[in-house]
């Protein structure tokens, strides 16, 4: 592929939120490229097709191949004039619905809060520990992951303390300090696994209860996790009922105490530690009186031009009849930078055309969904369908749909959402697998949770509804929907 094609492929993968940063990097690396001054009048130019741009690139490559270092092989006048270095992009937001570049979402401000690890460090300072023990406790807190777990073995912790902190400590002393850290809030911190995390929380709850049914249930919950954790996680409730000689109602109360616990004690804090990321849609689809219209986010259309300073340098060179070797070298450098800038501007423009043509084709094929918002209206569609209609390579379509989003009145969707294989019905029609998954999800939602449906029974239900589908396909769709097998869906 030519350098331009490679550059275009890379630009296609860049999401809208990162495009400005990518353009800024290019401007920093190429002084001949700059943003167009908003106060200057736009020059009217004709839009160029992809074929025109390809011809221009081939012509430039052939010229450079003939003699790259011959100073007389290029005409300085080609790089001077108003020409095509101020593209007026066709698909900017300002060309639709009266919106302007001022319609950019305002920056969101965040209040400063104490982070998860800072909260734990402040608690350590209040603990009755020796100075060196506090250092070890702070090290342990620093080793806790975002969920609140300490998943490292004790020997590796001892080794790290010796080599990185120059603190020698034996296993018994480490366990003593580790128990102190586990007493910090929130309960369940510093556990090695889920079982220990839940047990730490139950033990803390038990300490606040002297007697009563609640304490009895918590004690049974502790025994359940200590002795029958595998049976509990796999929902083999009959074994637990038999072991404790209790009825299903009692077991339900015990399980109720466990499911109310927090499996990620650090999660509620670390969520606030991370800067919230916002999804910036690449397209917006409007339904204007029964007609669907597409708007490309204006951030995808940065207005660029060739630097006026570099133009002036070329004009001075053209006027000067006495040209030194240094001036010729400088002009060759300018020529290379201007060519690179023009290539980048063309690539940005081609990126827009590719995005718009791809989105328009998706819109036409999935028109029913964009009118209704009903997932069952999505038609079977694969990358080849878009490739055949647009003329772009399948790899190009893949780069577009894997990183771009469209905002509709029904929500914001990744373009990849609209692609799915087809499945035949008993009537001979083709339906999207998304439709089948939605029907499958509905059947499972309505099942008797005390007697959940097996994959075989789910298959029978779908066949009765007119879908030709095999049991293994139902199992695959169920897994893709993150729905467990029937045994794990069972409730008391």
Nearest by Cα to 88 from 409, 308, 305, 320: 305
Radius of gyration of the chain (CA): 32
In this structure, are 325 and 252 located in the same domain? no
User: Which of 344, 365, 386 is where one domain is finished?
Assistant: 365
Pinpoint the alpha helices (H) of 67-193. Answer: 116-125, 131-142, 154-164, 171-182
83 and 21 assigned to the same domain: yes
Residue 240 to residue 231: CA distance in whole angstroms: 7
Closest of 209, 186, 206 to residue 197, by C-alpha: 186
The CATH number assigned to the domain holding 461 equals: 1.10.10.60
- Specify whether the CB–CB gap between 221 and 257 falls below 8 A: yes
- Cα separation, 362 vs 416, whole angstroms: 10
Q: Verify that 255 and 316 share a domain, yes or no.
A: no
80 and 9 assigned to the same domain: yes
Summarize pLDDT for 447-467 with one digit per residue, the tens.
888 888 888 888 888 888 888
Backbone angles phi, psi at 297, to 5 degrees: -55, 130
Rounded to the nearest 5°, which phi and psi values hold at 366? Answer: -110, 35
Does 261 fall in a domain? yes
In the chain, how many domains are there?
3
C-alpha–C-alpha distance, residues 486 and 449, integer Å = 9
Convert 58-72 into a string of H (helix), E (strand) and C (coil): HHHHHHHHHCCCCHH
* Structural domain range at position 53: 3-91+301-365
CB neighbour class for 238 (10 Å; exposed up to 12, middle 13-18, buried from 19): exposed
- When pLDDT is cut at 50, 70 and 90, the band that residue 52 belongs to is low
Q: Is omega for the bond preceding 186 within 30 degrees of 0, making it cis?
A: yes
Tell me what the mean pLDDT of segment 291-316 comes to. 76
- Residue 362's pLDDT is 92
Same domain, 10 and 77: yes
- Find the mean pLDDT for residues 22-46: 65
Residue at 199 is within a domain? yes
- Residue with the two structure tokens 């066949």: 463
Interval 365-380 mean pLDDT: 87
Token output for 294: 């597409």
Q: pTM of the prediction? A: 0.52
**Highest mean pLDDT pick, 80-94, 262-276, 373-387:** 373-387
Domain boundary among 365, 380, 400: 365
Q: What is the DSSP string of 231-248?
A: HHHTT-HHHHHHHHT--H
pLDDT for 58? 58
157 occurs within a structural domain: no
Partners of residue 149 on adjacent β-strands: 191
Q: Residue 436: inside a domain, yes or no?
A: yes
36 belongs to a structural domain: yes
Residue 359 lies in a domain: yes
Residue 172 forms part of a structural domain:
no
Mean pLDDT of 348-366: 89
Mean pLDDT of 127-141: 86
Residue 221 belongs to a domain: yes
Of 365, 380, 413, which residue constitutes the final position of a domain?
Answer: 365
What are the backbone dihedrals phi and psi of residue 298, each rounded to the nearest 5 degrees, phi first? -60, -20
Confidence of residue 59 (pLDDT cuts 50, 70, 90): low
CB burial readout 251-277, b (16+ within 10 A) else e: bebbbebbeebbebbbeebbeeeeeee
Cα gap 293→244, rounded to integer Å: 65
Check the CA dihedral 41-46-48-53 and report its sign: negative
**Which carries the bigger pLDDT value, residue 436 or residue 100?**
436
């Amino acid at each position: 592929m030519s350098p331009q094609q490679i550059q275009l492929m890379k630009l296609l993968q860049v999401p809208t939120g990162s495009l400005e940063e990518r353009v800024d990097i290019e401007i920093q690396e190429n002084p001949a490229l700059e943003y167009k001054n908003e106060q200057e009048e736009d020059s009217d130019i004709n839009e160029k097709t992809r074929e025109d741009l390809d011809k221009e690139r081939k012509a430039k490559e052939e010229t450079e191949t003939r003699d790259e270092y011959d100073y007389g092989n290029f005409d300085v006048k080609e790089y001077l004039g108003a020409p095509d270095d101020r593209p007026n992009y066709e698909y900017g937001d300002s060309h639709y619905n009266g919106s302007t570049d001022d319609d950019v979402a305002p920056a969101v401000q965040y209040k400063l809060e104490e982070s998860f690890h800072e909260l734990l460090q402040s608690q350590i300072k209040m603990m009755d520990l020796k100075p060196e023990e506090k250092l070890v406790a702070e090290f342990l807190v620093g080793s806790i992951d975002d969920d609140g777990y300490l998943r490292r073995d004790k020997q590796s912790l001892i080794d790290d303390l010796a080599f990185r902190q120059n603190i020698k400590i034996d296993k018994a002393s480490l366990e003593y300090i580790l128990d102190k850290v586990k007493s910090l809030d929130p309960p369940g911190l510093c556990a090695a696994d889920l079982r220990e995390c839940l047990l730490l929380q139950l033990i803390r709850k038990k300490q606040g209860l002297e007697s009563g049914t609640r304490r009895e249930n918590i004690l049974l919950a502790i025994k359940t996790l200590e002795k029958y954790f595998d049976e509990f996680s796999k929902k083999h409730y009959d074994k637990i009922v038999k072991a404790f000689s209790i009825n299903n109602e009692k077991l339900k109360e015990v399980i109720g105490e466990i499911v109310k616990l927090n499996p990620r004690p650090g999660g509620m804090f670390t969520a606030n530690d991370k800067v919230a990321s916002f999804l910036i849609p690449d397209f917006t689809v409007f339904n204007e009186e029964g007609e669907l219209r597409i708007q490309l986010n204006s951030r995808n259309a940065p207005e660029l031009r060739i630097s006026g300073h570099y133009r002036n340098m070329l004009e001075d060179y053209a006027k000067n009849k006495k040209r030194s070797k240094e001036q010729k070298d400088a002009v060759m450098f300018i020529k290379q930078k201007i060519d690179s800038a023009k290539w980048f501007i063309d690539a940005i423009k081609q990126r827009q055309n590719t995005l718009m043509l791809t989105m328009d084709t998706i819109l036409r094929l999935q028109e029913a969904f964009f009118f209704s918002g009903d997932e069952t209206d999505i038609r079977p569609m694969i990358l080849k369908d878009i490739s055949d209609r647009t003329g772009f390579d399948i790899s190009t379509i893949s780069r577009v749909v894997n990183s771009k989003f469209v905002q509709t009145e029904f929500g914001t969707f990744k373009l990849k959402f609209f692609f799915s294989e087809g499945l035949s019905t008993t009537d001979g029609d083709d339906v999207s697998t998304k439709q089948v998954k939605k029907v499958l999800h509905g059947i499972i939602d309505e099942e008797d949770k005390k007697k959940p449906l097996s994959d075989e029974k789910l298959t029978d239900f779908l066949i009765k509804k007119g879908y030709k589908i095999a049991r293994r396909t139902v199992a695959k769709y169920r897994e893709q929907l993150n729905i467990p097998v029937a045994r794990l869906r069972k409730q008391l």
